[in-house]
Each structure stands twice: as C-alpha cells, then as structure tokens.
Homo-oligomer: A and B are copies of this chain.
Amino acid sequence: MQTNDHLKPTDSELEILNILWEKGPCTVREVHEVLEKSKEAGYTTTLKLMQIMHDKNLLKRDATNKSHIYTANISQEKTQGQLVKRMIENVFNGSASQLVMQALGQHKSNNDELQEIKRYLEEIEKRSSTNK
C-alpha cells in the first residue's frame, strides 16, 4: 500500500490535476483540449503524462471503455496543504506568517477576500485562547 503523502507533483502534473479537480473525471482528450488553450502540446505528450501520473498513483482511471477516464486520486485541499507546508519550511524557514504577508503583498486581494481572511484569523484566535 502506497500513500502519496510525500509526493510533489511537478508543474506539468499540477496543470493536469487542476483541470481534473475543476472538471471532474475526464478522458485524455478532454484534458488535452483544455491544456492546448494555454500552451503548445502534442496529444501523446498529454497521454504519456497522464499515464505516468497513473503509475505514480496521482490519478486513477476507469479502463472499461476504449477511452479511459481519469480522475484525480489526491484531493486538491490536501495537495495544496502539502505544497504550502513545504514552502513554509523551505522558503520561509518555518514562518507561516511570513508567507501570509508575502502572499497578501503579492496579489491585490479585493475587499471580500480580506474580510474572509479576517474572519478566519479571528476564528483561530478564539480557538487558541480557549485551548490555553
């Protein structure tokens, strides 16, 4: 039994995962058509990538029909969490707040987003003060 808890999807793999997370189960062709919009790529390249991802257990597939149907086998949330964690460790020396501030400075968030973050912060504070 293999978990992929430690796995780090490459950039290309991430592009494919993003498509599958958004659209749900897809054939190679469907994924490929989305990819083509944003970059040059041959069909067999996409196919091969998805086969490799299947070997790595990043995707699962239904092969009953001729056109196999692929699904992401790792959750978006969990993957995002792992990547963020890795970045906190490797790039921000363990300081999540440093990352947070870089992120806020990097990308202009609109007011709704800022409010959401504030709510979230307050929730954390509440939790941590009761957990004393």
Contacts and interface: CB of A to CB of B under 8 A. Distances in A.
Contacts of A15: 90
A19 B14 CA distance: 29
A contacts with B: majority SS: helix
Contact of A113 (B11, B80, B85, B97): B97
A15 B106 CA distance: 23
A24 to B, nearest CB: 16
A110 to B, nearest CB: 8
Nearest to A94: B107
How large, as a class, is the contact surface on chain A?
35 or more
Interface stretch (A27-35, A54-62, A118-126): A118-126
A128 interface: yes
A113 to B, nearest CB: 4
A118 B80 CA distance: 23
A96 B113 contact: yes
A114 interface: yes
A4 interface: no
Contacts of A18: 90, 93
Contact of A81 (B90, B102, B121): B102
